[in-house]
């Protein structure tokens, strides 16, 4: 039998798997804000960097060994989580992402108020029978969620259209603006040799790059887990066209993941790693595989078929959007042609996982996230907070994360290498436009995506669900603006419907 703790302050148990990437940052930011607000916060997650960071914040971290995807260990994982819940005795359970949402709802089965936050739907990540099974579970498991919190209206609508029923609240993602102060926008993003040539090490605003990654040209940065969801394969395919028009551009993929080897093989085959002929000169070769075609059985449905989303995308008319050609644009390597088969310098760098991506955002001239699906990605918000222009794909949450004026320049259809290359090239060749978009994006994030507003809106949901005098100590209720002086606030938008068919 579940007995509530005697302390009048409510105890919240966050359950999360994955324990890295954007979901981990959301859990960390919420935990920090909730501890500051006086809640008692416990977190069940696998051991690793997230667990260590949460302990340093003062959270009660409980080891929950769970794999990222459902598998044969699911039954034992649910049992372990049930023991954690019995030991912690939370007033409310908040499950993050599909795997934790599956295990937590099976362990609790509605006996404790449970908030489920999908952070993008599981049935988008797979195809065929696996997608049908994931969708079937989400429809069934919704009855054990007292509230489903979506990070974008598009994410909620995808659930509703897929006949996942329940009580919904939309609370957009926020970021910790204290980490993105005025110093976050300093630096122009070009590489300079700070080591006097020792070891050939170069740096961009403090980021040390291996030999061959530097140069006078613009730097494009993609921050995200190296996996199919994030679409780095599409970006590598588009990079051939980018180099044809901006030959000294450089691309850095920041992150780790299961697709690292496959992406490195693709980059090598294209000649982007400096280990083969130039893809833009005689003797270069062009591998056949192109991402995003219907031959992939796990490919998510075409977002262009969504009639509720007006499609105005970035274009590249050569001298984009009426601006003059940037007089400082990268030099044309074609003026110094190479002999056929000559080895080209590396134009793509795999930077690996980093604890803090802010230096890479500051180093970038342009930040790109070519995702196949999302709920609302954090990387574009963080990049804009650093004053950087972004190019993103029109997946769930992308439009809602951008100010409307940026959509025509910064949004492209998913899985479309040509559109992606056109948008990236257009912005690389137009420094004044990039700077303008960066300033407008930063102002937008500062006013609408403060994590303190997000945390206050989540707390309002908790207050509503507890509703028995065990409040969190805030003075907000669902529908109110959890306001902070001098800033606009996130408004939790609640939708109520039956949890049963």
Q: Which residues, in sequence order, are CB contacts of 287 under 8 Å at separation 6+?
A: 266, 269, 270
User: Which of 38, 53, 40, 83 is closest to 65 using CA atoms?
Assistant: 83
User: Which of 159, 119, 112, 142 is closest to 30 using CA atoms?
Assistant: 119
Model confidence over 212-234: pLDDT tens digits? Answer: 455 678 999 999 999 999 999 99
Q: Are 415 and 391 in contact (CB under 8 A)?
A: no
- Can you tell me the mean pLDDT for 393-420? 96
DSSP state of 247: T
Say what the pLDDT of residue 310 is: 45
DSSP per-residue string spanning 328-357 = TPPP-GGGSPPPTTPBPPP-EEEEE--S--
- Can you tell me the mean pLDDT for 104-131? 93
Angstrom CA distances, 81 to 43, 44, 113, 304, stand at 11, 8, 16, 40
Q: Report helix angle 417-428 to 232-245, nearest 10.
A: 50
Q: Are 123 and 135 in contact (CB under 8 A)?
A: yes
Say what the pLDDT of residue 5 is: 53
d(CA 347, CA 135): 41
Say what the pLDDT of residue 296 is: 40
Of the ranges 27-41, 291-305, 412-426, which one carries the lowest mean pLDDT score?
A: 291-305
Q: Are 195 and 203 in contact (CB under 8 A)?
A: yes
Mean pLDDT of the chain, nearest integer: 80
d(CA 356, CA 204): 15
Query: Can you read off the two tokens belonging to residue 122?
Result: 């599981």
Say what the pLDDT of residue 345 is: 76
d(CA 130, CA 223): 28
d(CA 183, CA 187): 9
d(CA 404, CA 282): 42
Q: Are 401 and 380 in contact (CB under 8 A)?
A: yes
d(CA 233, CA 79): 38
Q: Are 33 and 451 in contact (CB under 8 A)?
A: yes
Say what the pLDDT of residue 72 is: 84
């Amino acid at each position: 039998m579940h007995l509530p703790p005697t302390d009048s302050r409510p105890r919240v148990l966050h359950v999360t798997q994955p324990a890295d990437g954007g979901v981990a940052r959301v859990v960390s930011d919420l935990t920090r804000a909730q501890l500051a607000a006086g809640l008692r916060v416990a977190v069940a997650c696998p051991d690793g960097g997230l667990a260590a960071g949460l302990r340093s914040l003062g959270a009660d971290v409980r080891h929950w060994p769970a794999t990222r995807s459902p598998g044969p260990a699911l039954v034992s994982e649910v049992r372990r989580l049930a023991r954690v819940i019995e030991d912690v005795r939370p007033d409310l359970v908040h499950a993050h992402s599909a795997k934790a949402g599956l295990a937590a709802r099976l362990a609790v089965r509605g006996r404790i108020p449970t908030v489920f936050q999908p952070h993008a739907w599981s049935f988008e990540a797979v195809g065929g029978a696996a997608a049908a099974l994931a969708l079937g579970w989400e429809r069934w498991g919704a009855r054990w969620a007292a509230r489903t919190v979506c990070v974008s209206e598009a994410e909620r609508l995808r659930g509703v259209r897929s006949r996942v029923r329940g009580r919904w609240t939309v609370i957009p993602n926020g970021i910790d603006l204290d980490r993105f102060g005025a110093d976050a926008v300093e630096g122009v993003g070009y590489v300079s040799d700070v080591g006097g040539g020792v070891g050939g090490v170069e740096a961009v605003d403090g980021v040390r790059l291996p030999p061959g990654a530097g140069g006078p040209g613009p730097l494009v940065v993609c921050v995200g887990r190296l996996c199919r969801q994030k679409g780095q394969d599409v970006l590598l395919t588009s990079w051939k066209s980018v180099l044809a028009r901006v030959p000294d551009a450089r691309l850095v993929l920041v992150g780790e993941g299961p697709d690292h080897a496959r992406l490195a093989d693709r980059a090598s085959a294209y000649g982007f790693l400096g280990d083969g002929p130039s893809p833009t000169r005689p003797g270069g070769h062009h591998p056949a595989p192109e991402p995003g075609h219907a031959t992939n059985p796990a490919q998510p449905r075409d977002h262009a078929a969504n009639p509720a989303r007006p499609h105005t995308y970035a274009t590249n008319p050569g001298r984009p959007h009426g601006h003059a050609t940037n007089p400082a644009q990268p030099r044309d390597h074609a003026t110094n042609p190479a002999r056929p088969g000559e080895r080209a310098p590396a134009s793509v760098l795999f930077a690996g996982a980093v604890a803090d991506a802010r230096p890479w955002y500051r180093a970038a001239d342009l930040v790109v996230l070519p995702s196949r699906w999302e709920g609302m990605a954090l990387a574009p918000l963080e990049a804009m907070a650093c004053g950087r222009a972004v190019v993103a794909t029109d997946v769930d949450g992308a439009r809602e994360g951008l100010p409307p004026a940026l959509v025509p320049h910064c949004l492209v259809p998913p899985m479309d290498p040509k559109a992606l290359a056109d948008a990236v090239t257009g912005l690389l060749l137009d420094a004044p436009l990039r700077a303008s978009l960066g300033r407008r994006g930063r102002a937008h994030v500062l006013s609408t995506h403060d994590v303190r507003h997000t945390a206050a809106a989540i707390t309002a949901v908790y207050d509503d669900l507890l509703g028995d005098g065990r409040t969190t100590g805030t003075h907000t209720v669902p529908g109110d603006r959890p306001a902070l002086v001098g800033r606009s606030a996130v408004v939790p938008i609640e939708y109520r419907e039956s949890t049963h068919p």
